Amino acid sequence: MNEDKVLMEIERKIMGGDFQSAGDVSSELKKVLQQVGFPPSFNRRVVIAAYEAEMNVVIHAYRGVFTTKIYEDRVHIEVNDQGPGIPDLELAFQEGYSTAPPHIREMGFGAGYGLSNMRRCSDKLEIDTRVGEGTKVIMDFFLNSDK
Amino acid sequence: MTLREIKEILQAEVLTGEEFLDREPSSACGSDLLSDVLAFTKENSVLLTGLTNSQVIRTAEMSDIIGVIFVRGKRPDNYAIELATIKKIPLLATRLPMYESCGRLYLRGLRGCSEL
Ligand SMILES: Nc1ncnc2c1ncn2[C@@H]1O[C@H](COP(=O)(O)OP(=O)(O)OP(=O)(O)O)[C@@H](O)[C@H]1O
Ligand SMILES: [Mg+2]
């Protein structure tokens, strides 16, 4: 991996079920990325993927920690949650598959697009999940990619 | 077409962001599914929706959506309006249902996100 230096590191907590604060972490990240001066189209795909990951913790898990490392030419995000984990990852990635309960669907979530959206927006996506323990989502975004 | 013209066409009320009505969206998206919006809208578009919770505003913020129109007489909650004001996202509310709202705007030349 690159050994370039980290311009900024942000670590924030996410609470499962807290829909009032949901999105605050991604919103702060957007502001920081704008200040760093990355192009809007790059920021947009980072922030959309970040928000999907943040919402998955709020909706599906109990609590999580969201860490971002910003480099000169890339952004690295890790979202580590304590929660039920994902029993079948391949199924979870299928568009339209969702276990979101009715009250979540009423809010407009639960289309089952989040994970594939994260894959589409990021340059690298890795998920490490353990049933009954939790899920770790790792995403990388490269400034010079053609996405 | 500016947001001000959209306001006229949909006989809409401005809930916040009167000062941003000169913005000119390049496309529009009508949806009640937030992940759909996140996956398929383009930047600089307007969103028409029947959802009223504050995550609509978050979704608009993340997707660089420049205005949100609430259809069929729906009203966002106060926190959503507050958040939109902070994020400088103008909010309009129309009594027209989703289909008619989208249809009127489309007829007047506002394209869909997949047509750009
Ligand atoms: N952090 C997580 N912890 C536990 N389960 C998860 C987590 N993230 C995703 N899942 C599981 O994977 C499924 C698919 O996730 P995905 O984000 O694609 O869709 P969704 O969250 O259900 O709906 P949407 O993202 O479209 O609002 C979820 O319904 C859930 O069962
Ligand atoms: Mg999701």
Q: A7 CA to middle of ligand 1, Å?
A: 31
Task: Please answer whether residues B30 and B113 qualify as being in contact, where contact means their C-beta atoms are separated by less than 8 angstroms.
Answer: no
Q: Which residue of A has its CA nearest to B86?
A: A27
Whether B92 and B67 have beta carbons less than 8 Å apart is answered as: yes
Q: How far apart are CA A124 and CA A78, in angstroms?
A: 12
Q: In chain A, which residues have their Cβ closer than 8 Å to the Cβ of B43?
A: 40-41, 44
Q: What are the boundaries of each domain within chain B?
A: 3-110
Q: In this structure, are residues B85 and B18 in contact, taking their beta carbons and an 8 Å threshold? A: no
Could you tell me the sign of the dihedral formed by the alpha carbons of B61, B65, B67, B71, in that order?
negative
Output the pTM of the full model. 0.96
User: Cα separation of B77 and B81, whole Å?
Assistant: 7
pLDDT by residue for chain B (116 residues), tens only, comes to 999 999 999 999 999 999 999 999 999 999 999 989 999 999 999 999 999 999 999 999 999 999 999 999 999 999 999 999 999 999 999 999 999 999 999 999 999 998 87
- Phi and psi, residue A125, nearest 5°: -135, 130
- Tell me: pLDDT of A2 over 60: no
User: Residue A1 above 70 pLDDT?
Assistant: no
Residues A73/A123, Cβ–Cβ less than 8 Å: no
pLDDT tens string A135-146: 999 999 999 998
DSSP string, A72-132: SSEEEEEEEEES---S-HHHHHSTT-----HHHHHTT--SS-HHHHHHHH-SEEEEEEETT
- pLDDT band of residue A147 (cuts 50, 70, 90) is confident
| C-alpha span between A134 and A136 (Å, rounded) | 7
Average pLDDT taken over every residue of chain A: 96
pLDDT, position B108? 97
User: What ligand 1 atom has the least distance to the C-alpha of A137?
Assistant: 1
The CATH number of the structural domain formed by B3-110 is 3.40.1390.20
* Test mutation, A18, A31, A48, chain B, max B CBs within 10 A: A48
Full DSSP string of B81-113: HHHHHHTT--EEE-SS-HHHHHHHHHHTTPPBG
Domain covering A9-142 in this structure, CATH number: 3.30.565.10
For residues B34 and A108, the answer to whether their CB atoms sit within 8 Å is: yes
Chain B nearest C-alpha distance from A103 (Å) = 12
ipTM at complex level: 0.94
For residue A108, give the ligand 1 atom closest to its CA. 27
Can you state the angle between helices A40-60 and A24-36, rounded to 10 degrees?
A: 160
- A positions 53-72 inside 8 Å of B (CB): 55
The total number of residues shown for chain A amounts to 147
CB pairs under 8 A between A and B: 72
pLDDT digits (tens, 9 = 90+) for A99-112: 999 999 999 999 99
CA–centroid distance, residue A77 to ligand 1 (Å): 18
pLDDT given for residue B116 in this prediction: 79
